[in-house]
Amino acid sequence: MFLGRVIGNVVVTAKDPGLHGFPLLLLQPLDHLGKPRGAPIIVLDRVGVGPGETVLLETSREASFKLRNPLVPTDCSIVARVDVSTVEA
């Protein structure tokens, strides 16, 4: 799992039937201090978040476990909205 910030929406004209009802979002991965890390990625929104929100992501096969069909082709899903994240020195 890792943190990210929603930076935009992804609009598609067709997608796998198992993904219907789940928006695709553009997300900037974050490091443990909340700073951008790496290139933006496209993720499946299972929570209902919006631009600017910080979220927790699940990757790999686990990204599709909570979908109606766990064999849906997704490798990164939003699993939680982050209210507060702290780092102790």
Residue spans per domain, the chain? 2-81
Q: What is the mean pLDDT of residues 8-27?
A: 89
Residue 18 phi/psi, 5° resolution? -70, -10
Kindly state the average pLDDT of the residues 5-10. 96
Rounded to an integer, the average pLDDT of 14-42 is 90
The tens digit of pLDDT for each residue in 36-69 reads 999 999 998 988 999 999 998 877 665 555 666 6
Map 52-71 to HEC letters: CCEEEEEEHHHHHCCCCCCC
State both tokens at 26.
């553009």
% helix, strand, coil for the chain, step of 5: 10, 40, 55
Can you give the pTM of this predicted structure?
0.84
2-81 homologous superfamily? EutN/Ccml (2.40.50.220)
Amino acid at 34: G
